[in-house]
Amino acid sequence: MNLPKPAVVTQRAARRMPRVALLLLCSAYVLPGVFGRDPWRQADLIAFGYMHSIASGRTDWWHPLVGGVPPEGGLFPYWLGAFFIQALGAWLDPAFAARLPFALLLVAVLALTWYATYHLARTEAAQPVAFAFGGEAQPVDYARAMADGALLALVATLGLLQLGHETTPELLQLTGAALFVYALAAAHLREAKARVAMLLALPLMAGSGAPSTALALGVGGTAVCLWSSQPQARRFAGWVVIAAAVAALVGVVTGTWAWRVSSPSPGQVVRLFIWFLWPAWPLAAWTVWRWRAHLVRPHLAVPLVVWGIAAFTSVAMNGSDRALMLGLPALAVLAAFSLPTLRRGVASAIDWFSVFFFSIAGLAVWVIYLSMQVGIPSKPLANIQRLAPGFEPVFSWWALLPAVLATGAWVWLVRWRATRHRVVLWRSLVLPASGVAWCWLLLLTLCLPVLDYARSERPIVERLAPHLSRDGCVAAEGLSKGQVAALEALGGYTVRWWHRPGAGACDQLLVAGGNRPVPPPAGWKLVARERRPTDRTEFTYVYRRER
């Protein structure tokens, strides 16, 4: 039965975004943060610690350890980072070498989202209404314009910004989720590529720490295929089942099956969904409403199933942003299908909100940078000196030039959008995506030194260095896994958790505590007390065994 379609698109509106502009936008989004920084605290640093322990030979490939403790997730991400450290570590900094493959994974996620939308938009149900006298968008041109819109929606989504630039297992899981969406989307046109993508997608997620999500996606994908009216999609269901079975086996072999469900906090979950998914979620909700008669069609069923599983997993894990991130490619696809149905007033509101918000944010970064470099205005520099004592601003042309060029591009883009009425489909997402990329580039160029100083564990490792010896081992009590990873990967120490086998043989002990001195354990002597420059309350106490 032919149902009425809400999409009315002319050939003029189906023009694709200029490729040079799209590539520059993606480069401005992906590259900042890849160069010139340490792994940042918590997840980024912990993952690097396991990669470094494998690459340096401290532990074997099947049993990576940080402080004598194994990882909670799968092994695939740590193998990937360790391989690049071993391959490139002789020429590159280990942290940079480990970060390179994950930057390429982010590129792959962007590309897979584009191609998934392209194939879904070429299905008959997703095509716009045919005009009585011609002039409607051609199928391929329409699909390209829609794919450009999905890519812009993904770049504009706030939740991907930081997590997508970390060296963590979740980025490998996100790649698997994007591969899964692509495989289902391309099953009717690119059967061979879709099969390969599916056989990679679910095992990749299972080996990266998300076997339950992979299995749930396998069940959902099988249902979508069997429900489809396309014979190619129904035949594809068998490949989804095979991929799910392999994923379950990979989960067993790598030991990633674990119970991580906890009671959700409704308020926390709602707040997370609102800001983490902005601005894709209002557009996706509009898509579901306007295309509600077509919810079982592939261009809606595929992203809805993937997004629903990711959202449910996030809620079940008490509002986990890393689980929610796995649904972002699917949400971007849904957001793209709102573009042919958006009213002009809504598009204008998105534009002006983006201009106002990102211009203020970018101006704030420039003000902070000028204060650090020339002392005018003085207030931002005073705040930095108070919050990050000991930080010394540095000047770099390599940071300033990209920021100046990107700012000029933002000004030109705002003028281009404000002075002319554009009818192209993707027009409403150009400013949100460009604003995110511009502000991210400014932060990771102009403010990278102070961000790295505040978020790296290197300053505390350097402060502890005069009091510690690399001979033997260091016992640690109360330190976070990130701090232990920093001591091992950045400091070169052998660390053992206190009260674990082998820790008792250590002659040095680190204890995390507050402002008041921690009473020394029996048989130990207090040597020093140090803290991170940006932390006023937490101290690390250094003890040495009495002879």
The candidate with the shortest Cα–Cα distance to 75, out of 85, 89, 65, 87, is: 65
Number of domains in the chain: 3
Per-residue pLDDT tens for 216-268?
Answer: 999 999 999 998 878 888 899 999 999 999 999 999 998 888 777 776 778 88
Query: Mean pLDDT, to the nearest integer, of 71-98?
Result: 92
* Domain final residue, candidates 409, 425, 455: 455
Whole-angstrom CA distances from 204 to 35, 91, 154, 210, 249 are: 27, 29, 21, 9, 12
Per-residue pLDDT tens for 303-313?
Answer: 999 999 999 99
* ∠ CA 434-435-436, rounded to 5°: 90
Give the Cα separation of 125 and 233 in Å (integer).
14
Alpha helices in 326-473 (DSSP H): 328-336, 344-374, 378-387, 397-419, 427-446, 448-455, 458-464
Structural domain for 441, as ranges:
344-455
* Domain final residue, candidates 455, 488, 516: 455
Per-residue pLDDT tens for 318-375?
Answer: 889 999 999 999 999 999 999 999 888 888 888 889 999 999 999 999 999 999 999 8
Sign of CA dihedral 489, 494, 498, 502: positive
Show Cβ contacts of residue 348 under 8 Å, excluding neighbours closer than 6 positions. none
Q: Does a structural domain hold residue 6? A: no
356 and 276 share one domain? no
pLDDT confidence of residue 132: 63
Give the Cα separation of 125 and 297 in Å (integer).
7
175 and 225 share one domain? yes
Pairing of strands 524-530, 539-545: antiparallel
221 and 329 share one domain? yes
137 and 242 share one domain? yes
The mean-pLDDT minimum among 45-54, 211-220, 489-498 falls in 489-498
Across 363-409, the runs of DSSP E, i.e. the strands, are none
| Spacing of C-alpha 216 from chain mean position | 21
> What six digits make up the tokens of 293?
């008669």
Pairing of strands 508-513, 539-545: antiparallel
Give the Cα separation of 74 and 205 in Å (integer).
9
* Domain final residue, candidates 455, 479, 505: 455
362 and 410 share one domain? yes
Q: Does a structural domain hold residue 514? A: yes
Give the Cα separation of 410 and 546 in Å (integer).
62
482 and 352 share one domain? no
Task: Say which amino acid occupies 350.
Answer: I
196 and 279 share one domain? yes
Between residues 80 and 513, the one the model is more confident about = 80
The strand pairing partners of 524, in sequence order, are 545
402 and 336 share one domain? no
pLDDT confidence of residue 99: 96
Q: Does a structural domain hold residue 12? A: no
Specify whether the CB–CB gap between 434 and 362 falls below 8 A.
Answer: no
534 and 472 share one domain? yes
pLDDT exceeds cutoff 80 at 134: no
Per-residue pLDDT tens for 267-279?
Answer: 888 999 999 999 9
449 and 466 share one domain? no
Instruction: Walk across the sheet containing 524-530 and list its strands.
Output: 495-497, 474-477, 508-513, 539-545, 524-530
Per-residue pLDDT tens for 383-394?
Answer: 998 888 888 888
350 and 427 share one domain? yes
Neighbours of 124 (CB within 10 A): 13
Per-residue pLDDT tens for 447-468?
Answer: 999 999 999 999 999 999 999 9
The mean-pLDDT minimum among 119-123, 169-173, 309-313, 472-476 falls in 472-476
The strand pairing partners of 64, in sequence order, are none
Give the Cα separation of 155 and 2 in Å (integer).
34
Q: Does a structural domain hold residue 11? A: no
Task: Say which amino acid occupies 198.
Answer: M
pLDDT exceeds cutoff 60 at 1: no
> What six digits make up the tokens of 150?
């999905």
Looking at residue 40, the DSSP 8-state letter turns out to be: B
Give the Cα separation of 46 and 60 in Å (integer).
17
Whole-angstrom CA distances from 167 to 81, 98, 143, 214 are: 8, 7, 33, 21
Categorize the per-residue pLDDT at 9 as very low, low, confident or very high, splitting at 50, 70 and 90.
Answer: confident
Per-residue pLDDT tens for 392-417?
Answer: 888 889 999 999 999 999 999 998 87
Q: Does a structural domain hold residue 25? A: no
410 and 482 share one domain? no
Specify whether the CB–CB gap between 357 and 438 falls below 8 A.
Answer: no
Average pLDDT, the chain: 91
* ∠ CA 245-250-256, rounded to 5°: 120
- Among 91-100, 389-398, 497-506, top mean pLDDT goes to 91-100
Does the N-terminal peptide bond of residue 279 adopt cis geometry, omega within 30 degrees of 0?
Answer: yes
Specify whether the CB–CB gap between 336 and 147 falls below 8 A.
Answer: yes
